[in-house]
């Protein structure tokens, strides 16, 4: 008889749903992402079950979240963000430059120059692994550091914000759903995401849908949002995908390297918070939104946190995107300049 057993990734989804449900019941911020993330990591670390990633699950989650983030962009909010473009630019550049602390710490633990540099840059894991491969870095260490940094930020930042700062002052945004507009935006977002992937652009399944939704929202001044439950589904898929990068072997490998990565991440978070405080005093922009925008986490994760805590999603997204662009365009030239300078001495 044919084997009709369900593929193991179904278990990944169910464990993630259970974790998300429990986290939502205890009032944890970003519950469907954090809950699914922790539940799957625990199963992978404490049992023999190495739950696999849901096929294309993280891409689907990023597509949902990208559309949701894009719908927050309205002409009034864009006017406010663009009015403080210089400060936002400085904040993104400053937090990128603060990664030199992580480079120094990893060099102290014996990592080679390329590995320490690309493991420390606050860009996407895939992008930094690709840049590291071209420059002789140890790719497993780069991937581990990038994954651990995002894990630490996702687990700590929403909880700290909820505990220390509360929910924030609600930001006025739309609450209605237009199925007609969504029927136009969502398939177009899939096509653009696929096109960006074929062009090998960074984070295609987040940036492509985000660009489509933001463009349509701004052009038509839509004032709409995703239906109830869509954000939670995106959180669950992204959290479940991220969790599958971790198991017992990951945490046992090079404990000194992982410890210094965590220390560097904590220092980067403190520096980001202090810089956000200074920029908030200069610009009168919301301190919570500025702080999230400067955190060394992923764009989707920080924008979701902003949405959950009722903060300015476009401001957070703009700062996160700008920092990623700095890293993508400047990381490799700066590394090669550093190498060339030392060779000439």
pLDDT averaged per 10 residues in sequence order, the chain, 345 residues: 61 95 89 93 93 92 93 84 83 86 88 92 82 88 89 87 64 70 95 92 89 93 89 93 89 85 92 90 86 87 85 88 86 88 68
* pLDDT of res. 262: 92
- Name the CA radius of gyration of the chain, rounded: 20
pTM: 0.84
pLDDT in tens, 191-234: 999 999 998 887 899 999 999 999 999 999 888 889 989 999 99
CA distances from 74 to 152, 216, 218, 315 (A): 32, 10, 5, 12
Q: At what angle do helices 31-46 and 230-243 cross, to 10 degrees?
A: 30
* pLDDT of res. 126: 76
**Tally of CB atoms within 10 A around 247:** 15
* pLDDT of res. 40: 95
* pLDDT of res. 167: 55
Nearest CA-CA partner of 96 in 315, 302, 296: 296
DSSP 84: T
Cβ–Cβ under 8 Å, residues 68 and 231: yes
Q: Residue 313: is it exposed, middle or buried by C-beta count within 10 angstroms (0-12/13-18/19+)?
A: buried
Domain boundaries, the chain: 9-49+57-337
Q: Cα angle vertex 115, ends 33, 298, to 5°?
A: 20
CATH number belonging to the domain at 9-49+57-337, selected among 1.20.1530, 1.10.260, 1.10.720, 2.60.40: 1.20.1530
Task: Provide the H-helix boundaries in 112-177.
Answer: 113-120, 125-134, 139-165
pLDDT in tens, 113-132: 999 999 999 877 778 888 88
**All residues at 6 or more sequence positions from 7 whose CB lies less than 8 Å from its CB, including other chains:** none
Phi, psi angle pair for 122, to nearest 5°: -80, 60
| Start-to-end C-alpha separation, the chain | 71
Angstrom distance (rounded) from CA 135 to CA 336: 9
Please report which helix (H) or strand (E) contains residue 9, including its range.
helix 9-25
Angstrom distance (rounded) from CA 22 to CA 39: 10
CA distances from 173 to 54, 177, 315 (A): 32, 12, 13
* pLDDT of res. 79: 82
Could you write out the DSSP letters of every residue in 228-267? Answer: TTHHHHHHHHHHHHHHTT--HHHHHS-HHHHHHHHHHHHH
């Amino acid at each position: 008889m044919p084997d009709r057993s369900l593929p193991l990734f179904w278990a990944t989804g169910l464990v993630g749903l259970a974790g998300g449900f429990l986290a939502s019941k205890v009032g944890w911020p970003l519950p469907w992402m954090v809950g699914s993330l922790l539940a799957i990591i625990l199963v992978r670390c404490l049992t023999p079950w190495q739950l696999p990633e849901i096929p294309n699950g993280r891409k689907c989650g990023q597509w949902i979240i990208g559309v949701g983030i894009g719908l927050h962009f309205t002409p009034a909010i864009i006017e406010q963000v663009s009015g403080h473009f210089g400060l936002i630019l400085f904040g993104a550049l400053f937090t990128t430059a603060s990664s030199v602390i992580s480079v120094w710490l990893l060099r102290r633990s014996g990592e080679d120059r390329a590995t320490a540099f690309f493991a420390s840059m606050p860009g996407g894991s895939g992008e930094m692994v690709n840049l590291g491969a071209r420059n002789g870095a140890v790719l497993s260490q780069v991937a581990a550091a990038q994954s651990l940094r995002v894990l630490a930020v996702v687990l700590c930042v929403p909880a700290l914000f909820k505990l220390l700062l509360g929910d924030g002052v609600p930001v006025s945004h739309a609450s209605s759903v237009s199925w007609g507009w969504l029927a136009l935006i969502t398939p177009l977002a899939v096509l653009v995401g696929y096109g960006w992937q074929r062009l090998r652009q960074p984070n295609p399944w987040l940036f492509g849908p985000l660009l489509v939704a933001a463009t349509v929202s701004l052009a038509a001044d839509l004032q709409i949002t995703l239906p109830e439950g869509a954000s939670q589904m995106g959180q669950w898929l992204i959290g479940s995908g991220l969790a599958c990068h971790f198991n017992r072997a990951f945490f046992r490998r090079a404990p000194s390297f992982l410890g210094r990565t965590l220390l560097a991440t904590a220092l980067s978070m403190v520096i980001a918070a202090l810089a956000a405080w200074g920029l908030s005093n200069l610009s009168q922009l919301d301190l919570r939104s500025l702080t999230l925008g400067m955190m060394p986490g992923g764009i989707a994760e920080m924008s979701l946190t902003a949405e959950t805590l009722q903060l300015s999603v476009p401001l957070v997204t703009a700062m996160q995107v700008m920092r990623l662009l700095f890293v993508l365009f400047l990381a490799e030239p700066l590394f090669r300049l550093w190498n060339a300078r030392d060779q000439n001495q």
